[in-house]
Amino acid sequence: MHTLSQLKSGELTGITRLSLKENLTEFPLEILTLADSLEVLDLSNNQLSELPQALTQLKKLKILFASNNQFTTLPEVLGEMEQLEMIGFKTNQIHTVPANSLPKKLRWLILTDNQITQLPESLGDCTRMRKLALAGNKLTHLPESMSQLHQLELLRISANEIKHCPEQLLSLPKLAWFAFGGNPFSRSDIQNQTVPQITSDSYKLEQVLGQGASGVISKAKWLKPQAGLPADIAVKVFKGEVTSDGYPEDELQACLKVGNHPNLVQSLAQVNEKDHLALIMNLIPAHYRNLGLPPSLQTCTRDTFSEGSSLSIHAIEKIVAQMQDVFNHLHDNQVCHGDLYAHNTLIDDDANIIFGDFGAATMYHMLTERQQQKIKQIEQRALDHFIDDLLSICETQDQNTARFLKLQQLALAA
């Protein structure tokens, strides 16, 4: 994080990344003094509502974040900045996206949690787009031109008002991670009761184990004995608002519809109170660790791994076999996970995995048989990428084996 005083004093001359969070109501023109070097500009968490035309002077700027501000219109000046590749305006008050506000070289656009009712057909001109986040808006339909987004790999359209299944998306050749719950076309009245309902005063939350966009997972202990349930439990308390992936209620229902599987976190009970939505789960043993890390700004949609990470071909084969079984279980239950990644997978020293994070999951039993097959094909690409990502950290001595090449052929299908 930088300060405005540092910028004004010239202390930041030559930097490539600038982050300012000072309750700004106007764009600081001093930023323009960094025109010869600035590549990443983060103005999130301020009170900005417009950007100046002079922004075009930042000829090297590739990434602009302006989330949690007061914008009501996506600034048209962005469309004049041909070099921009990544734009993030999450959680503003945007209701209008002008046709000329989208630079053609965009690879990544985040407009989550706004009030957008319509997107321009010019979106289809952004043919380099790989990642597009539109959840939590008021969209009733999507541009037909999106059929031209042949590079699009990750798409979030959950928690909108889209009335009909957007057919133009289902045949996109590279789409692999797709979240579409919480729309009229994907809405389900089914309330899955595969686990008992309990009250929130049945347990006490202890230390936080982790948190994501949709909620916080904590270790917990029972305050009231629960027949048939294990003593060691974890509780995910949902935050209650729309997330980058969709509605927490949809996540809960998808988890319950999937049911139990040896490689999934087991759901034990649910809490469905007015101000408290929660899922009680088995406590994952402490010796499990994350298999991968989330994508970076550079990889965009593909997972990353800790430096020095490696796996034997035997371990990779075992992991892949387990994930393929999970994949079949999910789709046998007509649930698309939407986020099939190594970073959502836990692993132990014997290459046993536990797969989780259903924030982007969507039930799709209400779609036509043809549409259901398309959804499964989309997620099959995510599984193929998962295999490919694991092969990227395969131990060197295993990379020329027949077993490696066999898995590589599977991954190449993506």
pLDDT digits (tens, 9 = 90+) for 34-90: 999 999 999 999 999 999 999 999 999 999 999 999 999 999 999 999 999 999 999
Domains 4-186 and 200-282 fall in the same CATH topology: no
Q: Which two tokens stand for residue 220?
A: 């917990």
Q: State the average pLDDT over residues 113-140.
A: 97
Q: 289-411: what fold?
A: Transferase(Phosphotransferase); domain 1 (1.10.510)
CA dihedral (56, 60, 63, 64) in degrees, to 10, reads -30
Cβ–Cβ contacts within 10 Å for residue 106, how many?
A: 22
Domain residue limits, the chain: 4-186, 200-282, 289-411
Residue, of 121 and 232, whose pLDDT is higher:
121
Tens digits of per-residue pLDDT, 371-412? 999 999 999 999 999 999 999 999 999 999 999 988 888 787
Instruction: Say whether 336 sits in a helix, a strand or coil.
Output: strand
**In this model, does residue 188 exceed pLDDT 90?**
no
In the chain, % of residues over pLDDT 70: 99
62 known ligand binder: no
Tens digits of per-residue pLDDT, 133-147? 999 999 999 999 999
Considering only 236-250, 284-298, 387-401, which range has the smallest mean pLDDT? 236-250
**In this model, does residue 213 exceed pLDDT 80?**
no
The answer to whether the beta carbons of residues 408 and 392 sit under 8 Å apart is no
pLDDT of residue 390: 97
Report the alpha-carbon distance of residue 24 to residue 34 in Å, rounded. 18
Banded pLDDT at 413 (limits 50, 70, 90): low
**In this model, does residue 240 exceed pLDDT 80?**
no
Residue, of 227 and 369, whose pLDDT is higher:
369
Q: Phi and psi for 278 in degrees, rounded to 5?
A: -150, 155
Instruction: Say whether 356 sits in a helix, a strand or coil.
Output: coil
Cβ–Cβ contacts within 10 Å for residue 253, how many?
A: 22
Report the alpha-carbon distance of residue 353 to residue 322 in Å, rounded. 7
Determine the residue type at 347: I
pLDDT of residue 47: 98
Q: State the average pLDDT over residues 308-323.
A: 96
Considering only 241-245, 282-286, 401-405, which range has the smallest mean pLDDT? 241-245
* Domain boundaries 4-186, corresponding CATH code: 3.80.10.10
**In this model, does residue 276 exceed pLDDT 90?**
no
What is the pTM (predicted TM-score) of this model? 0.94
Architecture label for domain 200-282: 2-Layer Sandwich (3.30)
pLDDT of residue 195: 86
Q: Which two tokens stand for residue 124?
A: 């289809």
